[in-house]
Amino acid sequence: MIYPTIQTSVRICAAFIILLSLLGQNLAHANGEVNVYSARHYDTDMALYEHFTKLTGVKVNLIEGGSDALIERIVNEGEFSPADMLITVDAGRIWRAQEKGIFQAIESKTMNERVPAHLRNADGFWYGLSKRARVIAFNKKRGLPIEVNNYEDLANPALVGQVCMRTSSNIYNLSLMSALIEASGETAAETWATGVVANFARSPQGNDTAQLKAVAAGECGVTIANTYYLGRILGSEKAQDKAIAASLGVIFPNQGERGSHVNISGAGITKYAPNKDNAVLFLEYLTSDFAQRLFAEGNNEYPILGPATGPVAKLGRFKEDNVDVQVLGQRQAQAVKVYDRSGWQ
């Protein structure tokens, strides 16, 4: 078990005072439980749950699973579901959950003040809690034959035989395509996808870590990956991972215009939550400065609030695309069709 880095009694007291101010209620009188269905599986998240219980007296009961499996479980459980909250990754999946009607809207001044408008549902059905960027990684030793600054550059014929990618059905690629459609239109997005396919070094395969390893090994020259995969490698003490990190250059795309594509982990209160008040309390707790740091660091992500810490901070600051993340779900069907027409498997 990994416990919070803020362990002294003085700091715990300070965190308690901040939380009291943030939530605007007397946490000392809270009790009961909250049932959390979570697609996040990190020791630091467990430490957060324990810290929340220590502060409030509310016990956190955790059910873990894959995002899609948890969504279907809540749907199947219906009004008898014990779930109070769903925590999942990627705005596309959160949107899917909302479309299936598993969330209820809440009114929380704390959440509306702490979570930027483009990272939450406008009607209060769900809220972003951490961020990750989708960046371009390349082999520093091999270099690139052209200057690459934007996602769009990966379709340049000069990169033929150099691009490695995940499959088009991957939720991260669906969200990226949704953002590209929103930014440039469906026709331009399809032209881009077709150009990238023509530049493939191999058929789409593996996860983001596999793409990064392939670039580091020289199997291909460039790829796209989420920053938390890079964070894991940068924070690793393994010699192999250190060698991979040393081989990779990282580009935050589209800095001269809209900014780099950003996605979220997020949460919403379930429609039939038996412990709604405690669930709202816990959701608000997750936006406290203390919780934000641990929540983000648990998966090498960026906090919704405050500066980056941990390994991802080594990647530097960047301009992010402030498109409403709901778009990443709303345009999923379009994204699938664009990928299919482009030949991206």
104, 271 in Cβ contact below 8 A?
Answer: yes
300 falls in which pLDDT band (50, 70, 90)?
very high
- Return the pLDDT at 15: 43
Q: Which of 2, 1, 22 is nearest to 290 (CA)?
A: 22
Checking if the pLDDT of 27 tops 60, the result is no
Per DSSP, helices labelled H in the chain are: 9-23, 43-56, 67-77, 91-99, 109-114, 171-184, 186-198, 208-216, 227-234, 239-247, 276-285, 289-297, 327-330, 332-342
131, 119 in Cβ contact below 8 A?
Answer: yes
Domain with CATH 3.40.190.10 in the chain: 9-131+263-315, 133-260+318-342
- Return the pLDDT at 42: 77
- Return the pLDDT at 12: 37
- Return the pLDDT at 77: 96
Checking if the pLDDT of 28 tops 80, the result is no
Share of the chain above pLDDT 90, in %: 85
Q: φ, ψ for residue 139 (rounded to 5)?
A: -85, 115
Amino acid at 43: D
- Return the pLDDT at 123: 95
26 falls in which pLDDT band (50, 70, 90)?
very low
- Quick: pLDDT tens for 253-297: 999 999 999 999 999 999 999 999 999 999 999 999 999 998 888
Task: Write down the mean pLDDT value for the chain.
Answer: 90
Q: Which CATH superfamily is domain 9-131+263-315 in?
A: Periplasmic binding protein-like II (3.40.190.10)
- Return the pLDDT at 88: 93
What is the C-alpha to C-alpha distance for residues 238 and 120, in angstroms, rounded to an integer?
37
Average pLDDT over residues 80-104: 95
Among the residue ranges 45-54, 122-131, 193-202, the one predicted with the least confidence is 45-54
- Return the pLDDT at 274: 97
- Return the pLDDT at 97: 96
Angle between helix 186-198 and helix 171-184 axes, rounded to 10 deg: 130
Of residues 44 and 293, more confidence is placed in 293
CATH number of 133-260+318-342: 3.40.190.10
What is the C-alpha to C-alpha distance for residues 56 and 286, in angstroms, rounded to an integer?
13
pTM of the prediction? 0.87
- Quick: pLDDT tens for 105-153: 999 999 999 999 999 999 999 999 999 999 999 999 999 999 999 999 9
23 falls in which pLDDT band (50, 70, 90)?
very low
Checking if the pLDDT of 69 tops 80, the result is yes
Average pLDDT over residues 320-326: 95
What is the C-alpha to C-alpha distance for residues 44 and 240, in angstroms, rounded to an integer?
25
Average pLDDT over residues 165-182: 96
18 falls in which pLDDT band (50, 70, 90)?
very low
7 falls in which pLDDT band (50, 70, 90)?
very low
**3-state secondary structure at position 284:** helix
Radius of gyration for the chain, computed over Cα atoms and rounded to the nearest angstrom: 21
Checking if the pLDDT of 9 tops 60, the result is no
- Return the pLDDT at 41: 79
Among the residue ranges 42-46, 94-98, 217-221, the one predicted with the least confidence is 42-46
